[in-house]
Structure 1
Amino acid sequence: MDWVSILPPLIAILVVFWRKEVIIALILALISSELLLALQNNNSLLIGGFFGSIERIVTVVTSAGNSRILMFSVLIGALLAYIRESGGVAATVNMLLNRGVAKSKRQVGLLTMFTGTAVFIESNMSVLTSGIVARGLFDKFKMSRARLAYIIDSTSAPVCILILLNGWGAYVLGLLSNYELEQSAVSILWGSVAFNFYAIIALLIVFYTIVFDKVHGPMKAAEAELKQQATALEAGPAATKSRYMLVPLATLIISMIGFMVWTGDGVLANGSGSKSVLYATILASVVAYILLLSGKRFSHHELMDVGFKGMGELLPLVSIVLLSLTLGASLKDLGTGTFVASLVGDYLPIYLIVPVLFITGAIMSFTTGTSWGTFAILIPIGVPLIQALGLPPALVVGAILSGGIFGDHCSPISDTSAVSALASGCDLLTHVKTQLPYALLGGALAIVCFFIASVVMI
């Protein structure tokens, strides 16, 4: 009966695309997962289903790492509101236009991609920084927020997993260090970069859409719909000084690096992403508050109202992040990821093992909404295959990491998707729908690459 463990994520995905309602989809998936766990443990369905779901949420919230993510997701609303209401966004847009940094759609897209690439320390920080920088510019050039969400989402995780001098690299290195192989864990990890085909292809597709100003599928429809709307941009306050945006943003980036080093005991890659992003967001919000208060444009009470209003605007997305984390925890106990991983059969032709590992990782991360959870399950499966069959270690690890990134990209129940929508000011479902064709194309090309690499190297 292990196959039933795949039902909850399927319910979530089907309801999302049928009813176009993410929160209800996540709640139904969570309750169904808890009902299956109750049946599995011979518990009361009422207690295990309804009350079990409530207790699961409580358990998730009591996790320090999850609490930090939720606090960050709420507090970033205050920071965004301060930057927006200060007029700093409009001033920064005007400054970039006057200095010729962003004179065209292509330059705006490249600036957004560069910003997301430069902030490779943490994926949420990458999407947040590039989203804040680019929102006003995308509005100015009448580019859809869905396009912005796609660019920042498709830049963040691929860059983090390719550069590896961050928490992502430290995490995977820790998983690989549990095994004795002919090569060191470090050399295998760095060698996997060249074989992380999905991450590389995802970045190339983003680059193509920017340089040639080409969008396809639902994204093209979103762009056309935007052009048919009124040409007036979102009103907002008049431009004041660019420092009201740039100083808090610089504080966010610099303090993030500092907190990563601090929480990692002097080693950047060992730092805590959840701690650093929360501390940096709080500090940047305080700096924005002080700037506005000292500028005498707002009183303390007005700033409190602006901050809480900004936090309130993000509550629906924060609820989605919470339910995504909760569903992921429930699916872990249900064994969904382990069942999907077991689909890698013992009787596959040897040159199909690597492509199937990628496909398995993609399905697993898509249905569970977690790339790190996918790594944790598939690396213990892939490494013994390396040892038993003599498979190229870097190729196998590259396939596993690629599969995890795929789902992290396009899953409607991924917290990264939610944060990307949050940072760009785009509806979550619209973001998932417009990004999916690009992700599927990248996934298909990655399968071909892994197949060719397997034929050549094995």
Structure 2
Amino acid sequence: MEWLTVLPPLIAILVVLWKKEVILALLLSIVSAEFLLILKADGSNLLLTPINTIERVVSTIGDGGNARILIFSLLVGALLAFMRDSGGVAAFVNKLISSGIAKTKRRAAGITMFTGIVVFIESNLSVLTAGIMARGLFDKFKMSRARLAYIIDSTSAPVCILILLNGWGAYILALLSTYELDQNPLVMLWSTLPYNVYAWLTLVVVAYTIFADKTHGPMKEAEQKLERIDSHVKLAEPSKARYMILPLGVMIVGMIGFMLWTGNGDLTKGSGSRSVLYATFLACIVGYALIVFSKQTNHQGAFKLGFSGMSELLPLVTIVMLSIGLGASLKVLGTGVFVAGLVGDFLPIFLIVPMLFIAGGIISFTTGTSWGTFAILIPIGMPLIQTLGLPPELVLAAILGGGIFGDHCSPISDTTAVSSLAAGCDLLNHVKTQLPYALTVGAVTVLAYIVLSLVLI
């Protein structure tokens, strides 16, 4: 019977690879887990499987920490909408460009990367902002649109996964919140920074191509052809940079302040779910007040804008909810304990972390979603930490890095598509020119995780 406990995560992975649909995969996985739990008990009430599935999800939402994370995830959507549609993001980037920094080829590419770093609040927003703003600069200095697509694509996701004061951080924190870990989930999340090898190396390689002014492989050919597509993509009209800076500043300072408050002065003992919720709520109030008092819109318009932003994140909030439910079901079923024993018997312990990175890359490549990859692998990786005593920050960093690695290589990734659209570059040309860089960094990352595992485990 024990071997059946691996069926739910296997079903999730197979459905994702087959249908490219994460929500369906997670739902079927929870249903199969609840079916097995009834079968394990006495098997007399198998018809109650759908009811038990619903109750499992409801019970996870009923937990205060999970409910706060789900509400926070929705509020992030409203905050992004306030900063983006008020013209604050566009105004901030305009200030950077109009300062006269972009006077040379290297500076033009450098400011493009810098823009992608500054707009770390959401990966697609980062890509769109940097790509649209830099098109004219790249044309002026005779740099290819494929190179622009590579720079913005390979800057956005790594920066979002490293800075984490955004929807990415909220999402991962939600996935971690159901596990009884020695560390505070927020502290554990921040502890992944030194070990997220793929993200750091990707940014280093992007910086190298900019400041050494070197391109290799298909990218070198693209630089000679200078092909471009005049796609019509627009951002909100620039207004005032403070419409982005003030809400973002309130969220960052508020998060630290509330961590100290909920931890009685000790940052590491603060409540991550409470702190991010309170800080984001305050930031939303500031964003709302700025656009209403500046008379960009009225009270009703601001609320409509906020709810529109929330609706954009509803699919991701659903994934978070189902992933938490799956983690709870697998915990009762004992999947983690069985997988940990299996891995310990057949796989050298120093290869577990590299294999998680590779698995993340494969799932993300075939599905085109790094967030869906996190939802599938974190419920598998966290029990390995608890059972085998693996360093939690190393395991989590490998899962996060693997998701981004596959996403960078995948032609069906939304970030890949948005990058080519924002840069005015053919999608397949963008994939072809970026792939050698991503594969090289991915191979080095696997070796790095083998060495880190040998040293730390």
TM-score normalized by the length of structure 1: 0.68
Give the aligned partner of residue 268 of structure 2: 269
Is 1:25 aligned with 2:30?
A: no
Letter in 1 for 2:205: Y
**Distance in 1, Cα, partners of 2:439 & 2:333:** 27
**Residues 167-200 of structure 1 deviation map (CA, whole Å, 9 limit, x = unaligned):** 9xxx9997389xxxxxxxxxxx9xx999x7x523
Give the aligned partner of residue 293 of structure 2: 294
Q: Offset at 1:59?
A: 0.7
CA gap of 1:360–1:26, structure 2 versus 1, over 3 A, is closer
CA gap of 1:5–1:138, structure 2 versus 1, over 3 A, is farther
**Distance in 1, Cα, partners of 2:204 & 2:256:** 26
Letter in 1 for 2:393: L
Give the aligned partner of residue 75 of structure 1: 75
Q: Offset at 1:353?
A: 3.6
**Distance in 2, Cα, partners of 1:252 & 1:300:** 22
**Residues 214-236 of structure 1 deviation map (CA, whole Å, 9 limit, x = unaligned):** 9999x9xxxxxxx8654333243
**Distance in 1, Cα, partners of 2:263 & 2:417:** 32
Q: Offset at 1:333?
A: 1.8
Q: How does 1:53-452 map to 2 (within 5 A)?
A: 53-99=53-99, 104-110=108-114, 112-113=116-117, 128=121, 135-141=128-134, 147=154, 149-156=156-163, 175=182, 199-212=196-209, 230-236=230-236, 238-345=237-344, 352-356=348-352, 359=355, 369=376, 371=378, 374-375=381-382, 377-382=384-389, 397=391, 401-410=393-402, 445=444, 448-449=447-448
Percent identity over paired residues: 38
Please tell me whether the aligned partners of residues 8 and 29 of structure 2 are also in contact (alpha carbons under 8 angstroms).
Answer: yes
Please tell me whether the aligned partners of residues 148 and 424 of structure 1 are also in contact (alpha carbons under 8 angstroms).
Answer: no
Q: Offset at 1:156?
A: 4.6
Please identify, of 400-409 and 373-382, the stretch whose mean Cα deviation from structure 2 is larger: 373-382
Give the aligned partner of residue 407 of structure 2: none
**Distance in 2, Cα, partners of 1:457 & 1:93:** 41
Please tell me whether the aligned partners of residues 108 and 134 of structure 1 are also in contact (alpha carbons under 8 angstroms).
Answer: no
Q: Offset at 1:18?
A: 2.0
1:314 alignment partner, SS class: helix
Q: Offset at 1:270?
A: 1.9
CA gap of 1:4–1:346, structure 2 versus 1, over 3 A, is closer
CA gap of 1:353–1:234, structure 2 versus 1, over 3 A, is same
**Residues 40-63 of structure 1 deviation map (CA, whole Å, 9 limit, x = unaligned):** 222422213x11110111011111
Letter in 1 for 2:40: Q
Letter in 1 for 2:60: V
**Distance in 1, Cα, partners of 2:183 & 2:77:** 37
Letter in 2 for 1:354: F
Q: Offset at 1:10?
A: 2.1
Q: Which runs of 5+ in 1 are unaligned?
A: 117-126, 158-165, 178-188, 220-226, 383-395, 413-420
CA gap of 1:133–1:205, structure 2 versus 1, over 3 A, is closer
Please tell me whether the aligned partners of residues 112 and 151 of structure 1 are also in contact (alpha carbons under 8 angstroms).
Answer: no
Q: Which runs of 5+ in 2 are unaligned?
A: 136-147, 165-172, 220-226, 364-372, 405-412, 420-426
Cα RMSD over matched residues?
4.6
Is 1:45 aligned with 2:51?
A: no
Please tell me whether the aligned partners of residues 33 and 334 of structure 1 are also in contact (alpha carbons under 8 angstroms).
Answer: yes
Please tell me whether the aligned partners of residues 88 and 244 of structure 2 are also in contact (alpha carbons under 8 angstroms).
Answer: yes
Give the aligned partner of residue 161 of structure 1: none
Letter in 1 for 2:350: V
Letter in 2 for 1:109: M
